[in-house]
Structure 1
Amino acid sequence: MGGMAPLLLRSALIMGLLIAALNTLFAGLSFGFDRLPLWFYAVQLLLLPAMLIPLRIFPQAAQTPEFLRRAGRYALGWAVPFAIYKFSADALDPAFSPPVSLVSYLVTGALFALIFAALRRPGVR
């Protein structure tokens, strides 16, 4: 990851592990740990490389002065990690509806992006 600080990389990987652990915990409590399929655990490992995306995009977003462009960058930064988290858990539900899950993903992602853009604007620490 050319030039990426080891501390920042380690933080992203730890955050990926934490999100994966929480997703596994919540899914296990909802559906039973013994009922979680092997693919669910495997998909959680995808969060590790997915957390590298925000490392590249968030610093750019924090320096973007225009609100909607900044929100769009935050949305792109969270798009892949949140998709892994959201869709892997949603797919466990016997009543899983891909269109409903997709709409929920898009709305939640947009809300997070708008909140991040409002809180993390250039010159605000």
Structure 2
Amino acid sequence: MNSMLLRTALITGIVIGALNIVFAGLQYGFGTLPVWFYLAQLLLIPAMILPMRFFPQAAMTRDFARRAAMFGLGWAVPYAIYKFAGDVLNPNFNPAASLISYLVMVLVFAVLFATIRKPQN
């Protein structure tokens, strides 16, 4: 992985983790956030680094379904950490609803990125 891609993955993981802490802190109060929630945000760094290779490959793939699948795979793990860490804080946490919402959003990310990032002719 080249240094620019690695730097992008690191920055993206840090920004997503920081936003998740800010949003959860504003919703539930920073003092009430458990330590595991902060530690879970650290998982976003490797979660962005490992699938980062999917994004450049997906951007070069002509077939829409394969391109969408690659973008979906690239966003699946980082979004799972972001989504489930925040959802579990809710006292009315419903695992089935959280999973369905996660799957729908990964599908939306996949289709959106595949549409926006289609290869040039």
In structure 2, runs of 5+ residues without a counterpart are none
The 3-state SS of whatever aligns with 1:123 is: coil
Q: Aligned pair count?
A: 121
Alignment of 1:28-39 (within 5 A): 28-39=25-36
Query: TM-score with structure 1 length normalisation?
Result: 0.93
Q: Choose which of 23, 38, 41 in structure 1 pairs with 2:38.
A: 41
In structure 2, distance between residues paired with 1:86 and 1:6: 28
Which range is displaced more, 99-108 or 52-61? 52-61
Letter in 2 for 1:110: L
1:117 and 2:100 matched: no
In structure 1, runs of 5+ residues without a counterpart are none
Which range is displaced more, 48-57 or 67-76? 48-57
Q: CA deviation at 1:81?
A: 0.3
1:95 and 2:92 matched: yes
Q: Which runs of 4+ in 1 moved over 3 A?
A: none
Alignment of 1:20-99 (within 5 A): 20-99=17-96
Q: More helix per residue: 1 or 2?
A: 2
In structure 2, distance between residues paired with 1:42 and 1:24: 10
In structure 2, distance between residues paired with 1:44 and 1:73: 23
In structure 1, distance between residues paired with 2:67 and 2:8: 23
In structure 2, distance between residues paired with 1:66 and 1:11: 25
CA RMSD across the alignment: 1.1
Q: CA deviation at 1:63?
A: 1.3
Instruction: Show CA shifts across 1:17-56 (max 9, x none).
Output: 1100000000000000000000000100000001113421
Q: Percent identity?
A: 58
The 3-state SS of whatever aligns with 2:89 is: coil
Letter in 2 for 1:41: Y
In structure 2, distance between residues paired with 1:40 and 1:120: 33
Query: TM-score with structure 2 length normalisation?
Result: 0.96
